[in-house]
Chain A
Amino acid sequence: MAKLFAVTIVVIAILSAIPIVRNTWHPMEDISTHGQAIDDQLSETMWEAGISFLASQIILAWFIWKFSVSKRTGSKAGTGESRSFPGGATGIVIASVVLVGAEVLALGAFGIKAWANIYFTPPAADAMPVQVQSGQFAFYFRYPGPDGKFGPLHPDLINEANQNIFGLDPDHDPESKDDLVTAEMAIPVNREIRLLMHSKDVSHSFYVPALRIHQDFVPGLDLQLHFTATKVGRYEIVCSQLCGLGHYNMRAYLSVLSQEDFDSWLKKQATLQ
C-alpha cells in the first residue's frame, strides 16, 4: 500500500509539471516596455519553485518507499515502534530553512529589476499625463487638454446624471474648461504615459494584463504609475479588487493608437464634451 502511495505521489507531481514545462497556459502577449522583465521574473520563479516542488515530492516518495513497513512481512507492524531520521532532524531542518531563505532572498534580489525599478523610478518629464478615477462600478479618464493642466476636483459637484463624473467646475476653473473626460482610455503607441490614479469611493484595482500592470486604488491616496505601450490594439482594463455588487462588470477598454489616430480621437472627444 505504501509503495502504491509513493508511486501515486510521483505520478501526480510529474503530471502537474507537464503543462507548465510545455507552456500550455501562457500569459497574453506583452505590449509594454517593462513587461519582459516581469515575465522573466515570473518564469524564473516558476522554474525555481517547480524544481523544488518536484524534488521534494520525489524525495518524499523515496522515503515512503524505502522506510515503510509492510503488514504482510510483519517486520515491525503493530509493535507501535516508530522510526526516526538517522542522526536526528535538527541538522536537516536548519539546512532546509537556510536553503529556502536563500532562495526567497535571491528571488527578491532579482525581482528588484522587474518591479522596484519600474515603481520607484519617476517617469520621464515629457510623459503624457492621464488621470483615471475608479468608482462603483466604472472607470473614467481625464485628459488635461491643450493647456496641459488638470482643473481642480470638487467632489461635491460629482453628478453622474449630468455626466460630471470628476466634479469639475469649468464655469469657475479656467483649467477645467478644456479637460476631456472619457469612458474609454486611449493612448498613443510608444509614448510614455504618466497615470494619475484616485478612487471616488472604495478600493478598486487597475489591472491591464496585456500591459503587465496591476495596481490597487486606495481611497484617499493619489497614486502614480508610468508605462509605455508598444503595440496598437484594443485591450481590457478590469477591476480585480472586490468592490461591491457590480464588481464583475467593472471594466473599461484601453485603445493603443498611432499618434495620428490618437490626435483625431482627442479632437473627436473634444466635440463630445
Chain B
Amino acid sequence: MKKQLLFKAILALSAALILSAAWMVSQRSVKAAPPSESSITGTVKLEGTPPHQRPIDMSKEPSCAAVHKANPVTTENVVVGTDGGLKNVVVYLSEGWSGPETAVSSGPNWDQHGCQYIPHVMGLDVNQHFKVTNSDPTSHNIHPMPKPGGPNHEWNKSQPSGAPPIDTSWPAEEVAIHVKCNIHPWMSGYMVVVKGPYGVSDDSGSFKVEGVPPGNYTLTAWQETYGAQTQKVTVAAGKPATANFTFKAK
C-alpha cells in the first residue's frame, strides 16, 4: 500500500516537472522569435497656418552664430515640412503594450551643436540609455526639468567643450521632459520617455513604429505645442498598420 502511494507521488512529481519544463521552453521560444512582429506607419500633418517661428539671434555666442551664418535658425516649436508634414511628433503605444519596457536597444544621441539640440525632440524608452554630447567649442549646461515630485528627477550638469559624453537614462515614463541650457537661454528641447516601441516624425511628417506584435493598441501622437492626440489601431500579423494624425493650428 505504502509503496504504491510513493510510486504515485513520484509519478505526479515527474509529470509536474516535465510540464513546467515544457512551459518554460515554450515561453523562451516566444521571447526569442515573436510570431510575425509588425509595424505602424503614417504621417502627421498640420492643418492651417503654422505659427510664426522667430529667428534666434546668437550674437552673444559668436562661435554658434558663425555656424548659422548662412542659414539663420528659428525657434522650433512647430516645424512644418513639405505638404504640411509636422516634424518632431513622437508617436507611441499608450495602451495595449505588454512587452518589456525597453523595446528599443540602440541608445540615441542628444547632441549640442551650433547652440541647438540635435534632435530637438528625442523619443526614449524607460531605462534606455542615451548619450549627451557637446560638439560646440563652448560650454553648455544640460538642464532637463521633469515634473517636480515625480519619479524622474531634475538634474543640471555642465559640459565644457571636449568633455566626455554624459551617459544616462530615465527611470519612468514621462511625456515630456523639457530640456534647456541656462547659458544659452534660446536652447530648448524635449525628451519623451515611454514604454515600448515609438517613432518620431521626420521632415515630411512620416513616422514608423517598429516591432509591434499583432493586437489592439491605443496610439498617441505628442507635439510640444499642440499636445497629444490618440487613436485606436489594430495590428494584424505580418501586415503593417497605418495611422495618420492631423493637428489643427491654433
Contact = CB atoms under 8 A, between A and B. Distances in A.
B60 A138 contact: yes
Q: Which secondary structure dominates chain B's binding surface? A: loop
A249 B54 contact: no
A272 B56 CA distance: 9
Interface string A155-167: 0000011110100
A181 to B, nearest CB: 9
Contacts of A249: 60-61, 138-139, 183
Contacts of B57: 182-184, 272
B181 to A, nearest CB: 9
Contacts of B158: 245
A41 B57 CA distance: 38
Contacts of A251: 60
B60 A272 contact: no
Contacts of B75: 161-163
A86 interface: no
Nearest to B58: A183
Nearest to B76: A161
Q: Is the interface on chain B under 10, 10 to 19, 20 to 34, or 35 or more residues?
A: 20 to 34
Interface in A220-269: 244-246, 249-253
Contacts of B39: none
A136 B182 contact: yes
A252 B59 contact: yes
Interface string A47-62: 0000000000000000
A161 B141 contact: no
A183 B60 contact: yes
Interface in B36-67: 54-61
Contacts of A183: 57-60
A272 B188 contact: no
A161 B141 CA distance: 16
Contact of B141 (A138, A139, A246): A246
16 contacts: A136-B182, A138-B185, A139-B60, A160-B186, A161-B75, A161-B186, A162-B75, A183-B57, A183-B59, A245-B141, A246-B182, A246-B183, A249-B183, A251-B60, A252-B59, A272-B55
Interface of B: 54-61, 75, 77, 138-139, 141, 158, 178, 180, 182-186, 188
4 tightest A-B CB contacts, nearest first: A161-B188, A183-B57, A246-B183, A163-B54
Given A160-B180, A245-B158, A249-B183, 15 more contacts: A137-B183, A138-B185, A160-B186, A160-B188, A161-B180, A163-B54, A163-B56, A163-B75, A165-B185, A182-B57, A183-B57, A244-B182, A249-B61, A251-B60, A272-B54
